Structure 1
Amino acid sequence: MKKKNLIGLGIVAPVALGISGLTAASAKLYDYAFRRVDYVPETSADKQKYADDYYNYVNWFHSVSSEQWTLHPSDLENRVEATFIHAANEQAKTTVVIAHGYKGNGETMSNYAKMFYDMGYNVLLPDDRAHGNSSGDYINFGWIDRLDFVEWTHSVINNVGEDSKIIMFGVSMGGATIQMTSGENLPPQVKLMISDCGYSDLRSELAYLLKQQFHLSPTIFVPIIDAINHHRMGFSIDDVSSVKQLRKNTRPFLFIHGEKDVYVPTYMVDECFEACPEPKDIWIVPNASHAESFWMDPKAYQAKVQQFINKYLS
């Protein structure tokens, strides 16, 4: 975030704030980061050059035949929506469940959906809580979403069949969501998991962004933001840890990360990789920024993903 955006939030230097001022500033930061927005923010400048290709994928997403699936349909506060795209081969039993990024939705993963569709798989694209067509006022950064993704795997089994094979895939916040889902009690139909540029834990990610983009002290602001989140969402940001969840993972896991990621720094994938038991693999994409690995070379990206799938999807 640029300095002008910080000024736009009405936040001044911490030394000029009293206790009440720090609390008010932290609340503004919390709302900026956690409160839902009903639009997809503009992508970063380094990925604007891929805009035409992106919208071609979005057009495909809207043209292909799909179904709408729902979790908790009668619970307005916990209703979660997803788009299911059946493979061209109606007998296909492998489904990829795709987790989107921060302030995105299922549609924003159209490029990955088409990649897996072209590989012959069914695709399920949920809208996380506080995103897209799903309910919720505050973004939970994958912590509550991970439990929804466990439910989505059971929805796949119920709709596609007990002989389903399920792959879980996510990018950015979605990558962290899949990493955190890996530590849950998943059905045996879930065969492998892939995460692209997911963070290691929310406290570290918030601290990094506060320092690098806001030029604010994490030591001052993160504890107050945590208290606000605990009051509004019922959990601590310290609970939101890919590293802790990955230690419990029992499935083959592929980690992908851009070498020049300055939004989720590359050292975070090293922490996640170290925490994850074997079998596992890691691919650091040269010169790629955050969530750019696919766009730099879609064919190479698909080949790497297909190679991992072929190795472990038996």
Structure 2
Amino acid sequence: MKKVLKLILALFIIVNIMAMFHAYKFTHFSTSVKQRTDANNIGFLDKIGMLFTGVSLPRPETKIVPKVPFTTIHLKSNVIIDAWQMQTARKSKGTIILFHGYGGEKSNMLDRAYVLLDMGYDVMLPDFMGASKSEGNQCTIGYKEAENVKTCVNYIQQKGIKNIYLLGTSMGAAAVMRAEYLEPLPVKGIILECPFGTMRQTVRNRFEMMHMPYFPLGDMLTFWGGVENGFNAFSHNPETYAGKIQAPTLLLFGEKDDRVKRFEIENIYRNLPCIKTLKTFPLSGHESYLNDYKNEWMETVEKFLDVCK
């Protein structure tokens, strides 16, 4: 019996150590790795090593620049963050700040930015902490990135701009929601693209995508991801943050999304106490909705922004 208990204890310790390694690499980008590791192109021993120590993720780097005039600014947040600013050629209706998703950087939001510029809005595209030109290598899936959101809003507000709007996709949406949850922001409207409902559920979704059982490694991964980054990951829940959002909110979702479930979106929408609109795109996954629904996205967003004035 003692041998069995010792074996169980040993396995428990080993699995926790594995979870610690995986959680750290999931939340800390590497500057020494230039591209994601393809498990199909490595040897058996390397695969075993990846199983125990996790996969190093390359730091997101900006490879393209805007095709329109832009300026680069640096803002002091919890780290120094880098951002682009672009001005519309028309009479400005306000400024929209666009926040990218996990593993991304500011250029991922250029497709939306160009459309918004054409609508008559100035835009700001920041890199979150740990991404591209911003400092650090840490990524907390929207938790600490909320401070970056607040920093950007404060900067635009201090310039005397009153019509400020936020657009966040995936992790960027979670960061926007947490920022608004912590302190009401002086914004006219918020656009949320495919935010996850809870941290625990988003980890579960990733396990499902890999055809792996969630329990017990999933909860261990969530636990250690929080511990290693200084917060309780089980409490990082945008569906809870939704309950304190006061600004009019447009919630967007792709019905083929395999990283966010429909019920997560429904929970968020139900919890929003503000003026709200839900728009779904039947054939879109976890991606930019401009890929397949550019005109529909434009019409939906423009109508929403007009109402928010």
* Range class of TM-score, shorter chain: 0.7 to 0.9
Q: Give 1:185 deviation, angstroms.
A: 2.2
Q: Give 1:153 deviation, angstroms.
A: 0.7
Look up the match of 1:82.
83
Q: Give 1:36 deviation, angstroms.
A: 1.5
Cα distance in 1 between the residues matched to 2:208 and 2:305:
38
Cα distance in 2 between the residues matched to 1:221 and 1:230:
14
Q: Paired residue for 1:64, among 68, 72, 75?
A: 68
Cα distance in 2 between the residues matched to 1:228 and 1:268:
23
Residue pairs, 1:113-128, within 5 angstroms: 113-128=113-128
Cα distance in 2 between the residues matched to 1:149 and 1:41:
27
Partner SS state of residue 63, structure 1: coil
Aligned residues: 275
Residue pairs, 1:188-227, within 5 angstroms: 188=186, 190-218=187-215, 220-227=216-223
Q: Give 1:120 deviation, angstroms.
A: 1.0
Cα distance in 2 between the residues matched to 1:79 and 1:172:
22
State, as a whole percentage, how many aligned pairs show the same letter.
19
Give deviations 1:141-192, integer Å, cap 9, x for gaps. Answer: 1111112211211101223x2x42011001121122222233232443x100
Q: Paired residue for 2:298, among 290, 296, 302?
A: 302
> Do the aligned residues in 2 keep the contact of 1:210 with 1:217 (CA within 8 Å)?
yes
Q: Give 1:41 deviation, angstroms.
A: 6.2
Look up the match of 2:22.
29
**TM-score, scaled relative to structure 1:** 0.80
Amino acid at match of 1:84: Q
Amino acid at match of 1:66: F
Amino acid at match of 2:86: I
> Which is higher, the Rg of structure 1 or of structure 2?
2
Cα distance in 1 between the residues matched to 2:303 and 2:36:
33
> Do the aligned residues in 2 keep the contact of 1:100 with 1:127 (CA within 8 Å)?
yes
Q: Give 1:37 deviation, angstroms.
A: 4.4
Q: Give 1:298 deviation, angstroms.
A: 0.8
Give deviations 1:101-149, integer Å, cap 9, x for gaps. Answer: 1110001111011111111111111101111111222211111111221
Cα distance in 2 between the residues matched to 1:186 and 1:124:
20
Are residues 40 and 121 of structure 1, via their aligned partners in 2, closer, same or farther at CA, if it must alter by over 3 Å?
A: farther
Partner SS state of residue 188, structure 2: strand
> Do the aligned residues in 2 keep the contact of 1:260 with 1:266 (CA within 8 Å)?
no
Amino acid at match of 2:214: S
Partner SS state of residue 253, structure 2: strand
Q: Give 1:98 deviation, angstroms.
A: 0.4
